[in-house]
């Protein structure tokens, strides 16, 4: 069986003709050439929502519910009845989003009442940054905790996912090639050696072409 030199940085190995060829499917955040459609693209997941010491009702405990908003998307948890220290089980997937400074991640915690209207217990908002972020907001009564994860689209990086990531050559290639497109004449013997070991690195297709030049 052929051993591929390295895993795909973007996409997956599923080419029917060559098991080591990386292919990617276009989506809202990836174009068919595997480049991200635009800067700032990421996915957002919000989870581990909980609160301590809420005070919503006078005679019974709080009936807590949370809304989570980013951009035009709004998500709402179930109501946890009669509990001043609720843990909401939901994980909210916001899917592809575009990080903009104008957009903030907003949380609003309500006490549900028997009628349809709910009383706002507290709210807070945050600028998103990439990675897993755990934070909290302190309300007049109680504290609200949350976790979110922002993953930059492939080949984007930085806190706002607005920097392009370089894709360095694989180490065994970088050792031989002076540039992405060239090979030094003095390194031809090493190249031949690499070719002979091509089972290990699957160099043959790339090098074969060069050797014919
Ligand atoms: Ca209650
Ligand atoms: Ca209530």
- Ligand 2 midpoint to CA 74 (Å): 22
- Ligand 2 midpoint to CA 70 (Å): 26
Neighbour-count burial of 5, counting CB atoms closer than 10 A to its CB (0-12 exposed, 13-18 middle, 19+ buried)? middle
Rounded CA gap, 165 and 7, in Å?
17
Which helix (H) or strand (E) segment holds residue 191: the answer is: helix 188-196
- Ligand 1 midpoint to CA 121 (Å): 13
Domain enclosing residue 59, as ranges: 41-163
Nearest ligand (C-alpha, residue 112): 2
**Are residues 144 and 202 located together in one domain of the fold?**
no
**Are residues 46 and 145 located together in one domain of the fold?**
yes
Model pLDDT for residues 111-121, shown as the tens digit of each residue: 998 766 789 99
Helices (H), 43-187: 171-174
163 versus 29: the higher-pLDDT residue is 163
Residues sharing a CB contact under 8 Å with residue 78, sequence separation 6 or more, in sequence order: 65, 88, 89, 90
Task: For residue 164, count other CB atoms closer than 10 A to its CB.
Answer: 12
Residues facing 120 on adjacent strands: 110
**Are residues 54 and 154 located together in one domain of the fold?**
yes
Model pLDDT for residues 190-213, shown as the tens digit of each residue: 667 766 665 554 544 545 444 444
DSSP string, 129-141: -SEEEEEEEE-SS
**Are residues 196 and 142 located together in one domain of the fold?**
no
**Are residues 90 and 150 located together in one domain of the fold?**
yes
Q: Taking the model in full, what pTM does it have?
A: 0.67
**Are residues 157 and 177 located together in one domain of the fold?**
no
């Amino acid at each position: 069986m052929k051993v591929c030199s390295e895993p795909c940085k973007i996409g997956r190995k599923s080419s029917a003709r060559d098991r080591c060829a990386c292919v990617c499917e276009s989506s809202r955040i990836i174009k068919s050439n595997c480049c991200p459609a635009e800067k700032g693209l990421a996915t957002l997941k919000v989870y581990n929502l909980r609160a301590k010491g809420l005070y919503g009702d006078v005679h019974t405990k709080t009936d807590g519910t949370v809304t989570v908003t980013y951009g035009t998307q709004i998500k709402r948890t179930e109501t946890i009845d009669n509990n001043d220290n609720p843990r909401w089980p939901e994980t909210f997937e916001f899917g592809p989003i575009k990080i903009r400074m104008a957009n903030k991640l907003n949380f609003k915690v309500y006490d549900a009442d028997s009628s349809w209207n709910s009383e706002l217990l507290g709210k807070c908002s945050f600028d998103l940054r990439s990675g897993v972020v755990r934070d909290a907001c302190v309300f007049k009564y109680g504290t609200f905790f949350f976790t979110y994860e922002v993953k930059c689209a492939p080949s984007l990086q930085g806190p706002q996912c607005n920097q392009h990531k370089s894709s360095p050559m694989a180490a065994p290639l970088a050792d031989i090639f002076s540039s992405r497109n060239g090979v030094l004449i003095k390194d031809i013997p090493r190249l031949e050696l690499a070719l002979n070991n091509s089972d290990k690195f699957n160099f043959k297709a790339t090098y074969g072409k060069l050797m014919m030049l």
